[in-house]
Amino acid sequence: RVTAGNFLEQFDFFLFGFYATQIAQVFFPAQSEFASLMMTFAAFGAGFLMRPLGAIVLGAYIDNVGRRKGLIVTLSIMASGTILIAFVPGYATIGLLAPALVLLGRLLQGFSAGAELGGVSVYLAEMATPGRKGFFTSWQSASQQVAIVVAAGLGFALDRWLSAPVIASWGWRIPFLVGCMIVPFIFILRRRLEETQEFKARQHRPDMKELLGTLARNWVVVIAGMMLVAMTTASFYLITVYAPTFGKTVLHLSTADSLLVTLCVGVSNFVWLPIGGALSDRIGRRPLLVGMTVLAIATVYPALSLLAHAPSFVSMLLVLLWLSFIYGIYNGAMVAALTEVMPVQVRVAGFSLAYSLATAVFGGFTPAVSMALIHMTGDKAAPGYWMSFAAACALIATFVLYRRGASALAPAH
């Protein structure tokens, strides 16, 4: 019930990335495919710029009124953006109003997502049984992987049932309409949630002024938290949202092959995330955070280089499954760590702000940055530079947080 909103968010985000080519043609027509896709991915990334604002405004709301009420509000705003994107007519019909409305839909989704992830992660952390916080919070990300699998499976079915011209014209809207149909069921699930006992026990609820003051005093933790999340967002959007476009436009693999790879990556992520969370409960967060970031720095670019020089379905699958392993184990430990290091009075707002800043700076623009790096360098493995940079930021953040004596990052028993 708690992670259902995460499912809807990632379902829509993945669809936007996968159908970027069709969305570019319908809403952002330009003289070249590169320019059209760049405008589409810029609109995709613009939604992430709204996340920090949503993190502060909606995060403060959730810290004040409660987890349950706040998660219903974030779902309402997210659903509005989803419905808007699904039903907006194309550029040929309403002109510049079409891309403007698509951008508005992305901004609404970004604003709500700014606090959705934090609200869900904190709810899971506060309801977790002793010594299992890593395992519980890992299901925030695991629910997103279910969305990836469902969306990729739906896209694969459409690719088999409909012709390419039909998909380009209107078929790409079908998965978005399915997302709209899911919304009422998620509302029913969310309304049945109970408030966490930990929140009920709190005597003081901070107002906006107090919340901003607490965040300002803990700015080092927020910035370090942002860098900690950088590895998660860059790797996730590289191996899921951008991967299908990378497979089709850069490696020249078929749509079906690209979708099958992404579907397998979603399943792999779903398996490794709870394992990473459970491992962090047993051996601590820090060893996994350090180990996976070092592994990413050492192996991501070489792996993508091998794929670029010998593109095939099998090689793309193996490389992305390796990156999925790194992402899953790292993120399983990271989400719990981030909920533990934030001041309890502003736990949702602090977590959401750190996560949203990372997603705005690193994650949301990963598709656009990846395309730009390939275009500028001529190196098809150039996205590896971006993920390695994000991993280096996360490694530095891990050392900073532990040097500050963030003993809360150790697993609770």
For the stretch 184-216, pLDDT in tens is 888 888 888 787 777 777 766 667 777 778 888
pLDDT at residue 157 is higher than 60: yes
pLDDT of res. 25: 81
Map tokens 């149909």 to a residue.
Answer: 181
Mean pLDDT of 245-249: 79
Total length of the chain: 413
pLDDT at residue 413 is higher than 50: no
The band of 394, judged by pLDDT with boundaries at 50, 70 and 90, is very high
pLDDT at residue 219 is higher than 90: no
Map tokens 């749509």 to a residue.
Answer: 255
Average pLDDT of every residue of the chain: 84
Q: What share of the chain is helix, strand, coil (3-state, %, to 5)?
A: 85, 0, 15
Which tens digits make up the pLDDT trace of 305-343?
A: 988 888 888 988 999 999 999 999 999 999 999 988 888
pLDDT at residue 406 is higher than 60: no
pLDDT at residue 111 is higher than 50: yes
Map tokens 């900073």 to a residue.
Answer: 400
pTM above 0.85, yes or no: no
% of the chain exceeding 70 in pLDDT: 95
Most confident of 116-120, 244-248, 282-286: 282-286
pLDDT at residue 401 is higher than 70: yes
From the candidate CATH numbers 3.40.50.1000, 1.20.1250.20, 2.40.50.90, 1.10.1740.10, the one assigned to the domain spanning 4-187+207-409: 1.20.1250.20
Structure tokens at 79: 């659903």
The band of 410, judged by pLDDT with boundaries at 50, 70 and 90, is very low
Q: 156 or 384: whose pLDDT is higher?
A: 384
pLDDT of res. 103: 86
Neighbour count for residue 128 (Cβ, 10 Å): 21
pLDDT at residue 40 is higher than 80: no
Contacts 24+ apart (CB under 8 A), 58-61: 58/111, 58/112, 58/114, 58/115, 58/119, 58/352, 59/114, 59/115, 59/118, 59/119, 59/346, 59/348, 59/349, 59/350, 59/351, 59/352, 59/353, 60/206, 60/208, 60/211, 60/346, 60/349, 61/115
pLDDT of res. 411: 41
Question: CA quadruple 266, 288, 6, 197: dihedral positive or negative?
Answer: positive
Mean pLDDT of 289-303: 96
pLDDT at residue 247 is higher than 60: yes
pLDDT at residue 99 is higher than 60: yes
pLDDT of res. 323: 95
pLDDT of res. 203: 67
pLDDT of res. 231: 94
Query: How far is 383 from 289, CA to CA, in rounded Å?
Result: 21
pLDDT of res. 344: 76
Closest-CA residue to 353 (of 242, 229, 249): 229
Which tens digits make up the pLDDT trace of 30-39?
A: 766 777 777 7
